[in-house]
Chains A and B, each alone.
Chain A
Amino acid sequence: MSIISVDQLSKQFAYYNKEVGLKSSIRNLFKRETLYKDAVKQVSFVVEEGEMVGFLGPNGAGKTTTLKMLSGILYPTAGKVSVMGYTPWERKKEFKRQFAIVMGQKNQLWWDLPANESFHLNKTIYEVEDGVFRKTVEELSELLDVTKLMNVQVRRLSLGERMKLELIAALLHKPKVIFLDEPTIGLDIISQKKIRDFFKYYNQQHKLTVILTSHYMNDIQDLCKRTIIINDGKVAYDGDLARVNDLLNQKKIVKIKLSDVVEEGVLLRYGDMKQYELTEAVLEIDRDEVKAILKQMLDDLPIIDFTIEDLPIEDGIAILYRKGEQP
């Protein structure tokens, strides 16, 4: 039996068409036009115990909505979900005590208090025993290198330090399943790496089942063998990350800054133009050729600065569809 199984899960939001102005406000008082948006459409998948699965997809694709239904925050419009044998939105206490959700943009630690105090509160809420609590805090804070920060007010900490403490708070009760929604958003590269390493280790030690959403390809690449791509509320791909990775990574984005104006036509010789503003340009270049082409460009053009970036996930998915080779 899989630890998480999702069957035909759908979520429809009702919202109202709001026009500005007093007149339409008054009109809306009496009669409002209700509109519907399908945020999640018949999503199905299963996750095995100890697996780490990455949710990929553009903004607004339905990743967070799906996670919220899996944690029981939202009721679905239709479909079935079982997490550890529980239906999340029944909100059984036993269920809540065995999972955790961490959202990168929301904090559960009390801002004006040292993290220690929030941990104690969580200990009582989750009914963790004294000995277990002490050992867990000790172990996790050493792993994440935050032992010294336990008695510092949370608001005085850096974003990265705060996230590490948030993770400890979420893992205190040794959840079997954890949902991570953009846990590394806004963090510096080193903190991101540190948190990834931590999860890799923790997953091996404790057989923790993880579903992770992230904007950073690196997070997913490092942690998850398997990825589920969600686009427009539907599962677009479910399988090995390596395969889709190749497709997504076929192109690189090269941004250049020039000291002199170079004509668009000249630049077009090197790759597909995405953006052009006289002394700045953004080009899309095949991954295998990036090195050679860039070298050529540096020789030919008055380049003062350049960056190489991954294709944004949105574009990657668009390419997948355009090529018609749905993986």
Chain B
Amino acid sequence: MRKTLHRYAVIYHLFLKNSLIYMMEYRVNFMFGVLVEIGFLAIKLSYVYVVFRIGTDLNGLSPHNILLFIGTFTIMAGLYSALFFFNFNRFPELIRSGDLDIYVTKPVSLQFFTTLRMIDISFAVPNVIGGIVMVVIGWQNSGISASIGHIAGFVLFIGIGVVLTYCIFLLPQLLAFWTVRTNGINDISNGLYDFNQMPMQIYHPYIQKAGTFLLPVFLTTNYSPMVALDRLGPVEWIWGIVSPILFLIIVRLLWKLALRNYTSASS
């Protein structure tokens, strides 16, 4: 078990190294990646701007509280595009071209190999930096003590958020095993994810429930700031710990099912 973990860590390290070499090769793309993310950051900041200009509390959240939420969302968006986006995007092409066939024969987890292979730092840089700045400002002005408990809880739920983001975005991509085109579905999952642009508290209670329990989109970026604000109840704590495990299992099972279908049907 430990040996396997170590081996996978070494492989992931090689993925990272290869991605960096690749990035050096295409420096213009790196610059553009940063530039485009600054554009997206501008849109996120326009929400911050509007909230602060209005100046009143929204559903019990002060502008600085909201800044904490938007900052977390920004960090998560950066991590998603750096760690997963390119892999998921390339996935249908991998199936169409048949390159997946070669990967199937490798003595390494196919899911690991195809969904985590490419890492693009450029997309993370503006978002992660901008997001952290927002979080720090929002944190201080919300009067949250910088205690170990708060910080550890915040970071823990960032980690859980990354896992859930992986699951939520990978699920629709698995459809590529059956139908080759997934563009339309991508638009929808991106749209759903963008609900985190605002704290979940502003949405209709039904939407809050659906986004928490049905498809835990809100869990990816809302629980970190909620822990910091001491607003996370016991039920949410339990669900917050259980759901990433549950969804990893669901994704894994669907992956196996999809692969089984692929290998018995494709030519």
Contacts and interface: CB of A to CB of B under 8 A. Distances in A.
Interface in B7-21: 7, 10-11, 14-15, 17-18, 21
Interface in A108-134: 108, 110, 112-113, 117, 120-121, 124-127
A278 interface: no
B94 to A, nearest CB: 11
A121 B18 contact: yes
B105 A101 contact: yes
A112 B10 contact: no
Given A112-B25, A117-B21, A127-B7, A91 B101 contact: no
Interface stretch (B134-142, B212-220, B258-266): B258-266
Interface residues of A, number: 33
A113 B18 contact: yes
A71 B105 contact: yes
A45 interface: no
A125 B108 contact: yes
Interface in A10-63: 13-14, 39
A125 B105 contact: no
Nearest to B261: A75
Interface in B153-181: none
A65 B105 contact: no
A73 B267 contact: no
A120 B14 contact: yes
Contacts of B53: none
A13 B265 contact: yes
Contact of B7 (A91, A103, A124): A124
Contact of A117 (B18, B26, B108, B267): B18
The secondary structure that dominates the B interface is helix
B190 interface: no
Contacts of B104: 71-73, 91
A255 interface: no
B191 interface: no
Contacts of A113: 18, 21-22
Contacts of B26: 112
Given A124-B7, A124-B10, A108 B102 contact: yes
Nearest to B25: A112
Given A110-B18, A121-B18, A124-B10, A74 B107 contact: no
Nearest to A173: B107
B11 A103 contact: no
A96 B99 contact: no
A153 B105 CA distance: 24
A13 B267 contact: yes
Contacts of B260: 75
Contact of A74 (B7, B15, B21, B266): B266
A241 to B, nearest CB: 28
A74 B25 contact: no
Contacts of B264: 74-75
B59 interface: no
B106 interface: yes
Contact of B25 (A89, A103, A153): A153
Nearest to A111: B22
B149 interface: no
A117 B99 CA distance: 19
B98 A106 contact: yes
Nearest to B15: A121
A103 B102 contact: yes
A96 B11 contact: no
A97 interface: yes
A106 B105 CA distance: 13
A93 B47 CA distance: 51
Which 7 A-B residue pairs are closest in the complex by CB-CB distance? Answer: A96-B107, A75-B264, A93-B107, A125-B108, A97-B107, A73-B101, A108-B102
23 contacts: A13-B265, A71-B104, A73-B104, A73-B105, A74-B264, A74-B266, A75-B264, A91-B104, A96-B106, A101-B102, A103-B101, A103-B102, A106-B101, A107-B99, A110-B18, A112-B25, A112-B26, A113-B21, A120-B14, A124-B7, A125-B107, A125-B108, A153-B25
Given A71-B104, A121-B18, A124-B10, 10 more contacts: A73-B104, A91-B104, A93-B107, A96-B106, A106-B97, A106-B101, A113-B18, A117-B17, A125-B108, A126-B107
